[in-house]
A and B are shown apart, each in its own frame.
Chain A
Amino acid sequence: MSAGQAVFSGWMEIADKAEFDEACQYAEEAALAGLVSQYSGTLYRVAYSVLRNSADAEDAVQEAFLRVLRHRETLHEVRDQRVWLIRIVWNVVLDRKRRSKTRPETDDVAELARVLPAAGLSAEERAAAAQHHAHVLGCVEQLPAKERQVLLLSAFEELNSVEIAAVLGITESSVRSRLFRARNLMAGLLSHTRSLR
């Protein structure tokens, strides 16, 4: 077959659309399963840092992957899938946080006492540590939203400042300046409460 014949036969050939769609769907599902197994832990921790509830955080991860499922055709266009997924779950978490009512602080303390590692601590020390962590998190909640978000995300070791900026949609210098302000505000809040005691 000559080149011209091959060209004509190629462009006039109609592929089996059903088989093609099935293959594409299989590839997309496989890619999605790979993302779930690779990043579900990271997304859970990001969600938990804001929601501070295991069930809510897991629901947020589920919802984030459902959003990915809806846009799975564009999955191959994403350059950094990890940052992209963190950004999705971050938006999901912020939506949930906005909608949900504020829970009492005692719930946070009980949840922290249950979740945080307390190897080698007595029951009293464990309770005191949980109280301290709850107090710190209460101060974090008092920060302005922009500073609080940067502070929470910067606690994740696997995220550098460029990636935090990508998640929040701001510049790297903004990340640094907001983190600086957040630290100062936190120091002020903690010293204020210490002096009150």
Chain B
Amino acid sequence: MKSAAQNPFDASPESSAFEETLRLIARLPAPEGIEERVQAGLRARLNSASSKAASDSAVSSKARILHWPKAQQLESAWARTAAAAAIVFIVAGGGWCISSRIQPVQPQAAVALPRVSVPGGFSSAGAMRTPQTLNGPVIAPAMVVVPQTVSPATNPATLTGRAQLHRGKPASTGSTASAKSAAAQPTTPVAR
């Protein structure tokens, strides 16, 4: 049988001397009667194997302890059908009985337990945990308060108030009210 792939020796353009030698050896005829000898050898091996198997089976049958009863041959087709139906009925009925007795377990609702502090332990004292990923509070630069000393002599509002009081006029004018409010205001801090 030659397929599409040729023998690699055939593909060579030149046939060397050593290839001729190898070809000669490859073409050597098989010796006469090799088939019969191989067949005889195989037959002898088969016979010895079968005799050994027979002796093994005899030993095993003698050494058998349990004798299982052979299956009864059911002659009638109806009897076989009935037996098969009975087996199916028993298996299905048994399965149904088991499945009907087993109640499915109701899944319990989740219960949130109240937070009870451990007796003798430390309490959190109402502190809230802040994640560390957040930026911390930015503190503004400290402010320096410069006290602005205002002398009563130089304060014009006081002066006007005094003047008004001295003159005895009613404080109905807007200038007098603004002067009062200005006097009531504290000294404003000056941010540096």
Interface residues of A (CB under 8 A from B): 1, 4-5, 8-9, 12, 14, 29, 32-33, 36-37, 40-41, 44-45, 48-49, 52, 54, 58, 61-62, 65-66, 69, 82, 115-117, 132-133, 136-137, 139-140, 151-152, 154-164, 172, 175-176, 179, 183, 186-187, 190
Instruction: Give chain B interface residues in 1-56, CB to chain A under 8 Å.
Output: 1-3, 5-10, 12, 16-19, 21-31, 34-35, 37-39, 41-42, 45-46
Query: Which residues of B pack against A, CB within 8 Å?
Result: 1-3, 5-10, 12, 16-19, 21-31, 34-35, 37-39, 41-42, 45-46, 71, 73-74, 77, 80-81, 84
A181 and B126 alpha carbons, distance in the complex (Å)? 88
Tell me how far the C-beta of B88 lies from the nearest C-beta in chain A, rounded to whole angstroms: 11
B34 touches A66 (CB 8 A): no
- The answer to whether B42 and A45 have CB atoms under 8 Å apart is no
Top 6 closest pairs, chain A to chain B, by CB: A155-B22, A41-B30, A44-B30, A155-B26, A136-B21, A162-B5
In Å, the complex CA distance between A139 and B41 comes to: 36
A82 to B1, CA, bound (A): 10
The minimal Cβ–Cβ distance linking B78 to chain A, given in whole angstroms, is 8
CB distance from A164 to the nearest CB of B (A): 7
Is B25's CB under 8 angstroms from A69's CB?
A: no
User: Do B34 and A44 touch across chains, with their CB atoms under 8 A apart?
Assistant: yes
**CB contact between B41 and one of A8, A66, A160 (< 8 Å): that residue:** A66
CB closest chain-A residue, reference B34: A40
Contact B74 A155 (CB under 8 A): no
Instruction: Return A151 CB to nearest CB of chain B, in Å.
Output: 7
Contacts of A163 in B (CB 8 A): 5
Q: Are A40 and B45 in contact (CB under 8 A)?
A: no
User: In the assembled complex, which residues on chain A have CB atoms less than 8 Å from the CB atom of B21?
Assistant: 132-133, 136-137
**Bound state CA distance, A116 and B2, in angstroms?**
26
Q: Decide if A9 touches B37 in the complex (CB within 8 Å).
A: no
Tell me, in angstroms, the Cα distance from A89 to B28 when the chains sit together: 17
Residue of B nearest to A68 (CB): B42
Bound Cα distance A152, B37 (Å): 26
Chain A-chain B contacts (Cβ-Cβ < 8 Å), number: 130
Are A156 and B26 in contact, CB atoms less than 8 angstroms apart?
yes
Residues of B within 8 A of A54 (CB): 31
- A178's nearest neighbour on chain B, judged by CB, is B8
Q: Is the CB of A49 within 8 A of B6?
A: no
Which residues from chain B contact A41 at a C-beta distance below 8 Å?
29-30, 34
Contact status B35-A37, CB under 8 Å? yes
Known: A44-B34, A154-B9, A162-B5. A29 touches B26 (CB 8 A): no
Q: Complex Cα distance A56/B168, Å? A: 153
Q: Is the pair B7, A133 in contact by a Cβ cutoff of 8 Å?
A: no
Tell me the complex Cα distance, A6–B74, Å: 14
Q: How far is the CA of A160 from the CA of B5 in the complex (A)?
A: 6
Decide: A186 and B31 in contact? CB cutoff 8 A: no
In the bound assembly, the distance between CA atoms of A62 and B42 in angstroms comes to 8
Cβ of A58 to closest chain B Cβ, rounded Å: 6
Q: Are A44 and B18 in contact, CB atoms less than 8 angstroms apart?
A: no
The answer to whether A36 and B46 touch across the interface, beta carbons within 8 angstroms, is: no
List 14 other contacts, CB 8 Å, given A44-B34, A155-B23: A8-B81, A29-B46, A32-B42, A36-B35, A41-B29, A45-B27, A49-B22, A62-B37, A66-B42, A115-B28, A155-B25, A156-B7, A156-B26, A176-B8
How many angstroms between the C-alpha atoms of A109 and B28 in the bound complex?
16
Which of the listed residues A9, A36, A37 has the most CB atoms from chain B within 10 Å of its own CB?
A36
- B38 near A175 (CB under 8 angstroms)? no
A193 and B8 CA atoms in complex are apart in Å by 26
Distance (whole angstroms) from the CB of A32 to the closest CB of chain B: 7
